[in-house]
Chain A
């Protein structure tokens, strides 16, 4: 198979899963005839029809709420939230309901639902089309949170998410949709949830990242290699459940940990990673656990100078690695 873009991988996986399993249904705003605003569901309506590819009204709480009900009762809904910024009307359904169904029923039923949402900045989306929302959900027991960074992983993780018996939030960085390409095997492989990947082996500094930042971390690792610094990049891939084994093994080896995320820093997902590293690898640490993340402003601004300043980039990460390596 020729290299696929990130969005090709998602679209083809949705189609494959729908062919494989008639209980998989897709719903969301403009996902049917239009094929989604990013065209992630293009062709599905033509192939599977109105019963399985549903153009919903504009109401995220209804999209997720009905998906929960359908999931309790034999279907595997895959909902699309058009932009992650619009997920909050559904927050109550996700956090109060989906996350607790299995627990409250004492494992009587569960919610095999996947919620896909494009997130992230760097595309001039401005204040309401650029947000990173993962931290709101990684906080919640009962939810799984997946953030793939390559077409290969997008395919393997989306398969696992759809087949998973519990609710999964699947966040896709919109800047990667068409800019990231990669080889994708033409097999029914899966990438298991809860497994990180070492995407760049190294010895001196562990760089923990996910999504678009996993790419930038690789670029940064290449840059610092020119200065003779050996960085190891851990692409988390799943944020909850977290693969602490891969994370801690790496930090115990390098003794230094830099966590990178695009979201604003305070209370972000990286804070949890930092706490776990501090608690469980303290004896091995040879420098402060450090974070490179977004600034403390409540949205990504429109002007490109401001947006570039907001965004973490390979150079900022490389700087962080150099500082930590020199520590």
Chain B
């Protein structure tokens, strides 16, 4: 009989809950502000996928690296990047994380190890591997975690990075958030195997790891094992966590191509209230959880209040920061 998994300490549990609630509260507000016209362009929300961001981040060391996709609010928040500059970036303010140059899709905060949200699908897998390779070379003990979607498993860069990672035994964890859709196309319709990441692991000599991405503790345990392994020099892992986005692919998408009962079934497995219930059942007090919920609401409101009145960047900021001297000269 399988032994019960080790208990996760209370502090980590509450931290994971806090991250999930922060992410959920932040993104729900971001969505409202989109409809108010404060956020332009597009956004890709991770509502429904918070357990992955929280469970993994809580297993990372402060100086580890996160590489994620345009669906990157949660992963950026989970690394402790403050909310105000993220909101400000969504609003395109001068005080935004990237001074308003990037917007929602490209959040980056090097000092938090949030090494970027990438919008060219697949591009960041080799890059994350390179960061891990550097850590290995420098013996820094850092681990790189790379998040990507199910759709990403069909582009060459995925396979290229996995092969090299395995050859190098690099300290990198490839984390596939299988939300079952590649934009509008169900992943199973365009993929040769049932589990787009896990079923490919064998091709690179890696274990096939498939977990419930809506259970934050399951995610945390599997991430911790993989990160510890990587740090110990035992090589990369490829993890597939099955999850679901509650909304559409991006702001413009109501997600109507998904069967109603499928959406309803996954919403019934919403990771945030599920974890709340789990914690209550384990004896965490309702008031303690309410305090966390309230803190998250206050943090989001305060961040919005700080970001809203911040100035827009001056137009000539456009031609700055191409080079290390802050300029963009094209001739000497």
Contacts and interface: CB of A to CB of B under 8 A. Distances in A.
A128 B119 contact: yes
Nearest to B99: A303
A323 interface: no
Interface in B94-116: 100-103, 105-106
B120 A59 contact: no
B92 A303 contact: yes
B164 interface: no
B191 interface: yes
B185 interface: yes
Contacts of B317: 306
Interface residues of B, number: 42
Contacts of A32: 185
Contact of A29 (B152, B183, B315): B183
Interface residues of A, number: 39
Contacts of A308: 315
Contacts of A29: 182-183, 185
A32 B182 CA distance: 13
Contacts, number: 130
A305 B96 CA distance: 14
Interface stretch (A8-16, A119-127, A253-261, A272-280): A119-127
Contact of B106 (A127, A266, A295): A127
A288 B156 CA distance: 47
B318 A30 contact: no
B40 A304 contact: yes
A30 B253 CA distance: 13
A89 interface: yes
Contact of B257 (A33, A37, A127, A302): A33
Given A30-B183, A301-B101, A306 B156 contact: no
B155 A302 contact: no
B257 A57 contact: no
Given A266-B330, A302-B103, A30 B185 contact: yes
A245 to B, nearest CB: 32
Contact of A30 (B42, B154, B184): B184
A39 to B, nearest CB: 11
A310 B330 contact: no
B277 interface: no
B312 A305 contact: yes
B87 to A, nearest CB: 14
B190 A301 contact: no
Interface in A98-155: 123-129
A56 interface: yes
A128 B319 contact: no
A297 interface: yes
A34 interface: yes
A306 B119 contact: no
B92 A302 contact: yes
A126 B106 contact: yes
A55 B328 contact: no
A295 B315 CA distance: 12
A296 B102 contact: no
Contacts of A302: 40-41, 92, 100-103, 106
B184 A297 contact: no
A93 to B, nearest CB: 11
A61 B159 CA distance: 14
Contact of A128 (B100, B105, B313): B105
Contact of B151 (A58, A89, A128, A309): A58
A172 interface: no
A92 to B, nearest CB: 10
Contacts of A124: 40-42, 103
Contacts of A37: 183-184
A37, A59, A302, most chain B CB atoms within 10 A: A302
A89 B101 CA distance: 24
B141 to A, nearest CB: 32
A263 interface: no
A301 B100 contact: yes
A125 B250 CA distance: 12
A228 interface: no
A59 to B, nearest CB: 5
A180 B249 CA distance: 27
Nearest to B152: A58
B70 to A, nearest CB: 8
Given A295-B318, A296-B328, A128 B120 contact: yes
A88 B123 CA distance: 11
Contacts of A89: 120, 122, 155-157
Given A55-B190, A61-B156, A303 B313 contact: yes
A85 interface: yes
Contact of A309 (B42, B152, B315, B322): B315
A298 interface: yes
A37 B257 CA distance: 13
B279 interface: no
Given A30-B185, A57-B154, 7 more contacts: A34-B185, A60-B155, A86-B121, A128-B119, A302-B102, A304-B40, A308-B315
Interface of A: 29-30, 32-34, 37, 55-62, 85-86, 88-89, 123-129, 266, 295-298, 301-306, 308-310
13 contacts: A33-B184, A33-B185, A58-B151, A59-B155, A59-B156, A124-B40, A124-B42, A126-B103, A297-B328, A298-B322, A301-B100, A305-B314, A305-B315
